[in-house]
Amino acid sequence: MTNTEQKGLLKACEPLIQLPACEHATTRPSPDTYGPIVTVVVGSECDKKEFHIHGGLLQHYSSYFRRAMKPEWTRDATDRIELKQEDPALFQIVFHWFYSGKLYSTPAANGQVPVSEPDLCEIFVFGDCRGIPELCNAAINLLFQRFANEWAYACRCLNYIYTNTVAGSCLRSLFVDLAVSSFSFDKLKENESSYPKEFLIDVVLRSRELKTWPGNVGSKKGFLENKAAEICKYHDHKDPHII
């Protein structure tokens, strides 16, 4: 995929590529188990927002919130959890996901996914830090679907990904594999600051492992279908109920 191809995004996107259901997905809880409402305060003093959410949902999907809501961990009896370092706008997407299982309700006017790649990467990191593997998997799925629909590699996300994840991360693996298969690196010298050294090493090692080279995509349709079929290998299958 050349940079020219990346700029030629569809004005009106086709429907997103379909992904198989993950066999390891956490079962959604019954509304009977949602429990009482808790208040999650997100952001700093100058940019703060309160979210009112059922505690049972938080505990069902997140090992972090299961710990945070233990009686011995709470400072008082107000049922408030503070996330001072998080972005309220980003948590709004997470809030929607807790209740719907989706990261957005309707596509943009042109049919594109209304959640950007940088936001999806931040959502993955939030889920990774807060012990919400299903949220990470939702971000992975949508990142791939955006890539497939727009045929555009999100180079702008690489520095953030390699700063905020560790070796072996599912997010790193997805971006490395997509680069190895479909990205031509035709502007590597001009944009070298966009490519972390660790990422380039990962691409070289993965290319050697697969006995291929970056951009050797072959059939675009076949590549996307095969990658969609194996999307589960980029999922985090940890049990959120294990603390």
Measured distance CA(182)–CA(218) in Å, rounded: 9
In a domain, 147, yes or no: yes
More confident residue, 68 or 135: 135
pTM (2 decimals)?
0.90
- The counts of H helices and E strands in the chain are 10, 3
How many domains does one find in the chain? 1
Please give the backbone phi and psi of residue 182, each rounded to the nearest 5 degrees, phi first: -130, -10
**Cα–Cα separations (whole angstroms), residue 185 to 60, 179, 192, 195, 199:** 42, 8, 10, 10, 13
**Residue located via tokens 């502007």:** 187
In a domain, 239, yes or no: no
Domain CATH number, residue 133: 3.30.710.10
Select, from the ranges 55-59, 111-115, 181-185, the one with the highest average predicted confidence (pLDDT).
55-59
Q: List, in order, residues 6 or more apart from 168 with CB less than 8 Å away.
A: none
In percent, the amount of the chain with pLDDT more than 90 equals 77
In a domain, 114, yes or no: yes
The whole-angstrom distance between residue 97's C-alpha and the CA centroid of its chain comes to 12
In a domain, 153, yes or no: yes
Which domain covers residue 24, as residue numbers? 17-234
Query: pLDDT tens, 133-165?
Result: 999 999 999 999 999 999 999 999 999 999 999
In a domain, 154, yes or no: yes
Query: pLDDT tens, 16-27?
Result: 999 999 999 999
In a domain, 69, yes or no: yes
In a domain, 243, yes or no: no
In a domain, 12, yes or no: no
